[in-house]
Amino acid sequence: MLFLNMALALGWVAVTGSLTIGNLVVGFALGLGALWITRFVYGPTDYFDRIRRVLKLIGYFLYELMLSSLQVIWDVVTPELITMPGIIAVPLDVESDLEILLVANLISLTPGTLSLDVSPDRKFLFVHAMFIDEPRDLKLALKSGMERQVLEATR
Q: What percent of the chain has pLDDT over 90?
A: 70
Q: How many domains does the chain have?
A: 2
Q: Measuring CA to CA, how many Å separate 49 from each of 36, 38, 66, 117, 131? A: 11, 15, 26, 32, 35
Phi/psi-derived region of residue 113, left when phi > 0, alpha when psi is between -120 and 50, beta in every other case: beta
Quick one: 27 and 66 in the same domain? no
Q: What global pTM score does this model have?
A: 0.80
Residues 59, 38 share a domain? no
Q: Indicate if 57 and 38 belong to the same structural domain.
A: no
Whether residues 35 and 61 share a domain: the answer is: no
pLDDT band at 16 (very low <50, low <70, confident <90, very high): very high
| Average confidence score pLDDT of the chain | 91
Q: Which domain holds residue 35?
A: 2-42
Q: Are residues 100 and 144 in the same domain?
A: yes
